Amino acid sequence: MTAPLFSDYREAVISTNNLHTWRDFFIRIAGWELRYDGVVDPSVLGLWQLPAGATADECLFGAPNTKSCFVRVVQINGVPQEVIRPNDQIWDTGGIFDLDFRVKDIDAIADHMLAAGWCAQSDPVTFAFGPFTVKEWIPRGPDGVRLAFIQRVDPPLEEWPEGHICGPAFSSSQIVRDMKAARRFYEDVLGMGVYIEHVGPSTEDGPNVFALPYNVAKDVTQDIVIVSPTKQNMGSVELLQLHGAEGRDFSARAHAPNRGLLSLKFPVTDWQAFLAHIDRQKITPIAGPQTIHFAPYGDVPSLILRAPEGAWLEFYHSPNTSSLNEREGQYAFTENTFRSRWRGVSQPCGQCGHSRRLGSDDTARRVRCISQNPMFSRRQQTHLLLLEWHGLFAADGRSR
pLDDT along the chain (400 residues), means of 10: 80 97 95 94 97 95 93 97 97 98 94 95 88 93 97 85 88 97 96 92 85 91 95 95 95 98 96 95 96 92 97 91 40 40 38 38 49 52 50 38
Task: Classify the phi-psi angles of 231: left when phi > 0, otherwise alpha if psi is within -120 to 50, otherwise beta.
Answer: left
Last residue of a domain, one of 188, 217, 251: 251
- The distance from CA 268 to its chain's CA centroid, rounded to whole angstroms, is 18
According to DSSP, residue 192 is labeled -
Alpha helices in 122-250 (DSSP H): 179-183
Could you tell me the end-to-end alpha-carbon distance of the chain, in angstroms, rounded to an integer?
Answer: 50
Phi, psi of 342 (to 5 degrees): -115, -10
CA dihedral 65, 67, 68, 70 (to 10 degrees): 60
Q: Is there a domain that residue 375 lies in?
A: yes
* C-alpha span between 274 and 173 (Å, rounded): 24
Q: Are 72 and 58 in contact (CB under 8 A)?
A: yes
* C-alpha span between 69 and 333 (Å, rounded): 18
Q: Is there a domain that residue 163 lies in?
A: yes
- pLDDT on residue 320: 63
* C-alpha span between 293 and 371 (Å, rounded): 30
Q: What is the CATH number of the domain that holds 203?
A: 3.10.180.10
**CB contact set of 279 (below 8 Å; sequence gap of 6+):** none
- pLDDT on residue 343: 36
The CA-based angle 191-193-196, given to 5 degrees, is 155
Task: Based on the fold, state whether residues 235 and 331 are members of the same structural domain.
Answer: no
Task: Based on the fold, state whether residues 221 and 344 are members of the same structural domain.
Answer: no
Task: Based on the fold, state whether residues 225 and 351 are members of the same structural domain.
Answer: no
According to DSSP, residue 390 is labeled T
Q: Is there a domain that residue 197 lies in?
A: yes
- pLDDT on residue 158: 77
* C-alpha span between 185 and 93 (Å, rounded): 16
Alpha helices in 233-286 (DSSP H): 271-280
- pLDDT on residue 389: 44
Domain count for the chain, please give it.
2
Distances in Å between the alpha carbon of 191 and those of 3, 7, 184, 202, 274? 7, 11, 9, 30, 11
**CB contact set of 68 (below 8 Å; sequence gap of 6+):** 8, 10, 168, 234, 235, 323
Task: Based on the fold, state whether residues 224 and 94 are members of the same structural domain.
Answer: yes
Domain membership of residue 376 as a residue range:
326-389
Q: Is 143 exposed, middle or buried (0-12, 13-18, 19+ CB in 10 A)?
A: buried
**CB contact set of 297 (below 8 Å; sequence gap of 6+):** 316, 318, 324, 325, 328, 329
Q: Are 100 and 172 in contact (CB under 8 A)?
A: yes
* C-alpha span between 35 and 296 (Å, rounded): 9
| Sign of the C-alpha dihedral computed for residues 114, 241, 83 and 30 taken in this order | positive
Task: Based on the fold, state whether residues 247 and 331 are members of the same structural domain.
Answer: no
- pLDDT on residue 384: 55
- pLDDT on residue 69: 96
- pLDDT on residue 178: 97
Last residue of a domain, one of 251, 279, 311: 251
The CA-based angle 145-65-69, given to 5 degrees, is 35
* C-alpha span between 115 and 271 (Å, rounded): 46
Q: Is there a domain that residue 352 lies in?
A: yes
- pLDDT on residue 120: 95
Pairing of strands 139-140, 119-120: antiparallel
Last residue of a domain, one of 224, 251, 278: 251
- pLDDT on residue 156: 83
Q: Is there a domain that residue 169 lies in?
A: yes
| Sign of the C-alpha dihedral computed for residues 369, 374, 376 and 381 taken in this order | positive
Q: Is there a domain that residue 378 lies in?
A: yes
* C-alpha span between 47 and 293 (Å, rounded): 10
The CA-based angle 239-245-246, given to 5 degrees, is 85
- pLDDT on residue 2: 60
Closest CA to 125 of 100, 101, 150: 150
Q: Are 238 and 195 in contact (CB under 8 A)?
A: no
Task: Based on the fold, state whether residues 94 and 221 are members of the same structural domain.
Answer: yes
- pLDDT on residue 383: 52
Q: Are 134 and 148 in contact (CB under 8 A)?
A: no
Q: Are 259 and 17 in contact (CB under 8 A)?
A: yes
